[in-house]
Amino acid sequence: MRWQCGTRFRGLRPAVAPWTALLALGLPGWVLAVSATAAAVVPEQHASVAGQHPLDWLLTDRGPFHRAQEYADFMERYRQDLQDLELKYLLQKQDSRIEVHSIFISNDMRLGSWFDPSWRKRMLLTLKSNKYKPGLVHVMLALSLQICLTKNSTLEPVMAIYVNPFGGSHSESWFMPVNEGSFPDWERTNVDAAAQCQNWTITLGNRWKTFFETVHVYLRSRIKSLDDSSNETIYYEPLEMTDPSKNLGYMKINTLQVFGYSLPFDPDAIRDLILQLDYPYTQGSQDSALLQLIELRDRVNQLSPPGKVRLDLFSCLLRHRLKLANNEVGRIQSSLRAFNSKLPNPVEYETGKLCS
Ligand SMILES: *[C@@H]1O[C@H](CO)[C@@H](O)[C@H](O)[C@H]1NC(C)=O
Ligand SMILES: *[C@@H]1O[C@H](CO)[C@@H](O)[C@H](O)[C@H]1NC(C)=O
Ligand SMILES: *[C@@H]1O[C@H](CO)[C@@H](O)[C@H](O)[C@H]1NC(C)=O
């Protein structure tokens, strides 16, 4: 962690566009070194390792001050990037600068075309970063789609969202617990009463922002009806529909977009650190590599989705963005755990497996 970096962002925030603040996710400086003026990015691993202040560790999560209020306050501010109100404003304007350009894929439907909604529809947005953007990882702040129903339709769309943080198969994605606990819910705004279109937006904001490489959207629909005996809204699955006087109608998705930002990512710098575990230049360089990898692991896992335990996103990064084999990932993880347990104030936490 580099104290100076965070202080610089904090000092600059009111004067500059939010894009510079956006980049202060809190990955270590050697993964992304952001120049506040140009947002230019220079991988500076060697410089940073050599030039690191020897007492920097005092201010890390493992340093002796990690329980001090000032430190906690600082970290809180340091980890905030775009403020939620700013984000809301930009989302309302659908500002293109927070749109992450992803590829829409679906075998079940096309954007802008009416379809029969009685079967589940699968759509996904993906970035194919290993092919097109190997130097970036992506953070999702919001997801928005525009959905239309034909007139007098009794259908109600139901969405299930799964997220792959760094790639991989569907089984390596996590389910978004929309409206569970403190997790945000969809917000719907009417676009045009006549066309019966609504924008559905889920805003993750600072609290629930998350890495993403692919977002899977499963659209089902249910029939909304009022139970006259109890005045409660009840729902049917469309396939159980027997009353032909009820109009199922058609559905259409006009847009599906992810809002967020991309962060510079230097896979070679991380590979170089990993190499130091087996072939250190010196004893000191091995310790330094271990410390930096632990820091990176913790900052990546920090963006884990809600759940009983944090998901092991760092392993997903190693598997999918560095293309490491399963046993290599296991070996790196156990080296990190072993080293961490010997540090003063070790902070170790349980993680759940996401990527195989
Ligand atoms: C929609 O419902 C209204 C009132 O229930 C009815 O007058 C109208 O004909 C219906 N339109 C269609 C397209 O079914
Ligand atoms: C709905 O979404 C569309 C497309 O993303 C956007 O252009 C429009 O401004 C949004 N309208 C409202 C009312 O939010
Ligand atoms: C349903 O709601 C209406 C209007 O709110 C009310 O007049 C009626 O008594 C309610 N019926 C039942 C069964 O609760």
Pocket test for ligand 1, best of 114, 151, 247 (most atoms within 8 A of CB): 151
pLDDT in tens, the chain (356 residues): 333 333 333 322 322 333 333 333 444 333 333 222 223 222 333 333 344 455 566 666 666 666 677 777 666 665 666 677 888 888 888 888 889 999 999 999 999 999 888 778 999 999 999 888 899 999 999 999 999 988 777 778 889 999 999 999 999 999 999 999 989 999 999 998 776 899 999 999 888 999 999 999 999 887 767 776 777 776 666 554 555 555 567 899 999 999 999 988 899 999 999 999 988 888 788 999 999 999 999 989 989 999 899 999 999 999 999 999 999 999 999 999 999 999 887 778 899 999 98
Asked whether the beta carbons of 348 and 340 are under 8 A apart, the reply is yes
Q: What is the dihedral of CA 157, 158, 164, 169, to 10 degrees?
A: -90
Coil, helix or strand at residue 249: coil
Q: Tell me the ligand closest to 147's alpha carbon.
A: 2
Q: What is the DSSP string of 94-121?
A: T-GGGEE--EEE-SS--TTS-B-TTS-E
Distance 233 CA to ligand 1 centre (A): 21
Instruction: Return all residues near 294 (Cβ < 8 A) that are at least 6 apart.
Output: 336, 339, 340
What is the C-alpha separation between 333 and 310, in angstroms, rounded?
Answer: 15
| Domains of the chain, CATH where assigned | 96-263 (2.60.120), 266-356 (no CATH)
Instruction: Return all residues near 88 (Cβ < 8 A) that are at least 6 apart.
Output: 203
Coil, helix or strand at residue 229: coil
> Measured from the CB, is residue 152 less than 6 Å from ligand 1?
yes
What is the C-alpha separation between 332 and 165, in angstroms, rounded?
Answer: 20
